Structure 1
Amino acid sequence: MTPASVTAFCPGHISGYFKRVDGRDPATTGSLGAGIVISEGVMATVTPAERSSVVVRVRSREGAPAEVSRSSPPLASALENLGVSVAVETSCRLPISAGFGLSAAALLATLTATNRLLDLGLSADEIAEVAHETEVIFRTGLGDVAACQGGGRVVRTGPGIHGSIRRSFDLDAPVCAVSFGPIHTPDVLGSPAQMAQVSAAFPERQPETFTDFFACCREFSAKSGLETPAVQRVLAECDRHRIPAAMTMLGEGIFAYGDRACDVLRPFGEVYKMGMADAGVRIVEAVA
């Protein structure tokens, strides 16, 4: 029996450093880099509809959802690519366009739920291919879809969803973050000069431990030209307290690790506390 609605969840992804790789088409274009797949992400509920529609909500600290948009060009494009129509409602707690990989999470959650609702018979790889190509076309991300297919601290050494990914599950303390606002991802990814500086800042080594991961991220952000004065002030405070921390890519914010991280970040704004995700996108509920 066809469900009346299906809900799927996809974790977000905080990227610490990256390097664009231009392929022959969107499927082979992507990035190398490293980051953390986080326990916070996007919940997407889809229901049958004659015409596709999208409602985007962000939950407050108290959990109350507030509608922030009634459109999402990437989601609309992905659904059109599949030749289907559904009504979509997405919900998240983290700020949008702030370096938490929520565009990729929204695509993966929505397409996974739609696949189940309409019994499309798509594999997880086929869903990820559509999501990744949509991200590349809209310049909303390059490597988040690949990372969000699973959990852990990830190091991506190949572009696209079939590129080589090493996942380490070595973060058992909280990951905390503050955000000062978005960095318009399409502007950065679409700027040849900015991308050249970002590529030159890419670390030559692959981090084996979370300590070295944060060191690589710090080296990258310092050389990339993406750090802002606000970001630099928070990083300096984290250094003073010996808290591993780095800039969120791409967003004007900081993520830090450890039991004391939230306390150190609290004077700088609202703190988002989360953990490392142990799995990727998944169906949460199918209502008959």
Structure 2
Amino acid sequence: MKKRARARAAAGLSGFFAPHIAGTLRETGAIGGGLGIDGAVKADIAVELGEKQEIVVRNVINGEELDSCIARYIVEKLFAEAGVPGGRVHIEQEIAVPIGGGYGTSGASALAIAYALSRALGLASTPDTVAEIAHEADIVCKTGLGTVVGIMQPCRGITLVAKPGGPGLALVKCIPLDQSLRAITAFYAPIPKNSILTSRIQLERVRKEGLAVLKSIEENPSPENFMEQCRSFAKKTGLITPRIERVLASLRSVEGVIGASMNMIGEAVFALVYADRVEDALAALSKTKPEWMHTWQPGSSGVVVE
């Protein structure tokens, strides 16, 4: 008999970050800040338990079967916690935002899979315990550092991870946003993290600038300053691309846009704009020929098990 469960997690669009590598996975993480896109990542899980010590994981993302390091790590961890020797796990995922565009899809996938599988196995684990496994998976599979803790915390505004680490260690803050503001984003192309963060000098520059940005935002937690600091981070770290520079220039010329910056890390942009000027901003973005655009009320409900 198959056991089933499903969960959905917010995507976590990142505007800045600073890595923090420690001696344990629990202490390792990142500070950073960004916007949640509610319910953007869904996982539908079917589990068939077996007697043999063999675990078969099938992960289908948007109709395409992929060999997922994150899925396998989480399944093996939760099977061990449940005392299950083996079985088959089928994971159907729907991801409504581009992968590789700085939308935190790996961390969101890890959370959705972990929460749904925990429910399917009937585990009595606390949310933090389940999220800890998702946090570990994101780090071990080299897909993220601080995304999980930022996503799991509900926030109707700007999410700030002010202290790094896993669930229970990280400090997550929420900067409320006026209801008249909307977020828009446009995606152009993915940027593999391992293609740009390749030197210690660059990583140290990112760390230094990320910490400076966090300090500035905490001193002045306004949406205008958040967007300005994110743009400064993109420029000072050298992560911004020429195409994104041009897109941001066109966005900043639109009345009602209070700030725009680059997603971390992806060739994509995001902006905060007053609701009555969204169409003007989208029209400006359309001229830059993005692969995908989206507008939404910023905020996240964290992870919801259905």
Q: Do both proteins adopt the same fold according to a TM-score greater than 0.5, normalized to the shorter chain?
A: yes
- Distance apart, 1:40 and its partner CA: 4.8
Alignment of 1:192 with 2:191, yes or no, is no
User: Between the two proteins, what is the percent identity of the paired residues?
Assistant: 27
Q: After superposition, where does 1:24-173 map in structure 2 within 5 Å? A: 24-49=23-48, 51-57=56-62, 67-83=63-79, 85=87, 86-152=89-155, 153-160=158-165, 161=167, 162-172=169-179, 173=181
TM-score (norm 2): 0.84
Three-state SS of the structure 2 residue aligned to 1:6 is strand
Aligned residue in 1 for 2:209: 201
Give the aligned residue type for 2:184: C
Aligned residue in 2 for 1:213: 226
Three-state SS of the structure 1 residue aligned to 2:43 is strand
Distance 1:266 1:171, change over 3 A: farther
Report the aligned-residue RMSD. Answer: 1.9
Aligned residue in 2 for 1:61: none
- Distance apart, 1:69 and its partner CA: 3.5
Distance 1:164 1:93, change over 3 A: same
Give the aligned residue type for 1:208: P
- Distance apart, 1:218 and its partner CA: 0.8
Three-state SS of the structure 2 residue aligned to 1:157 is strand
Aligned residue in 2 for 1:249: 264
Give the aligned residue type for 1:241: V
Aligned residue in 1 for 2:14: 15
Q: Supply the distance in 1 between the matched residues of 2:261 and 2:39 (Cα, whole angstroms).
A: 18
Using the TM superposition, name which of 200-209 and 249-258 deviates more. Answer: 200-209
Q: What residue ranges of structure 2 are gaps of 5+ in the alignment?
A: 50-55
Distance 1:189 1:3, change over 3 A: farther
Q: Supply the distance in 2 between the matched residues of 1:247 and 1:192 (Cα, whole angstroms).
A: 22
Aligned residues of 1:54 and 1:87 also touching (Cα < 8 A): yes
Q: Per-residue displacement from partner, 1:127-151 (whole Å, max 9, x unpaired)?
A: 1111111111222111110111123
Give the aligned residue type for 1:164: L
Aligned residue in 2 for 1:64: none
Equivalent position to 1:176, from 176, 184, 187: 184
Q: Supply the distance in 1 between the matched residues of 2:70 and 2:230 (Cα, whole angstroms).
A: 28
Alignment of 1:274 with 2:301, yes or no, is no
Three-state SS of the structure 2 residue aligned to 1:52 is strand
Give the aligned residue type for 1:192: R
Give the count of matched residue pairs.
Answer: 274
**Which structure has the larger Rg?**
2
Aligned residues of 1:12 and 1:40 also touching (Cα < 8 A): yes
Give the aligned residue type for 2:174: R
Give the aligned residue type for 2:245: Q
Aligned residues of 1:248 and 1:254 also touching (Cα < 8 A): yes
Aligned residues of 2:177 and 2:223 also touching (Cα < 8 A): yes
- Distance apart, 1:183 and its partner CA: 1.2
Aligned residues of 1:171 and 1:210 also touching (Cα < 8 A): no
Give the aligned residue type for 1:44: A
Aligned residues of 1:45 and 1:88 also touching (Cα < 8 A): yes
Aligned residues of 2:57 and 2:71 also touching (Cα < 8 A): no
Three-state SS of the structure 2 residue aligned to 1:7 is strand
Give the aligned residue type for 2:75: L
Three-state SS of the structure 2 residue aligned to 1:49 is strand
Using the TM superposition, name which of 37-46 and 76-85 deviates more. Answer: 76-85
Aligned residues of 2:3 and 2:121 also touching (Cα < 8 A): no
Q: Supply the distance in 1 between the matched residues of 2:122 and 2:196 (Cα, whole angstroms).
A: 38
Aligned residues of 1:138 and 1:186 also touching (Cα < 8 A): no
Aligned residues of 2:190 and 2:267 also touching (Cα < 8 A): yes
Q: Supply the distance in 2 between the matched residues of 1:18 and 1:185 (Cα, whole angstroms).
A: 13
Q: Supply the distance in 2 between the matched residues of 1:273 and 1:18 (Cα, whole angstroms).
A: 23
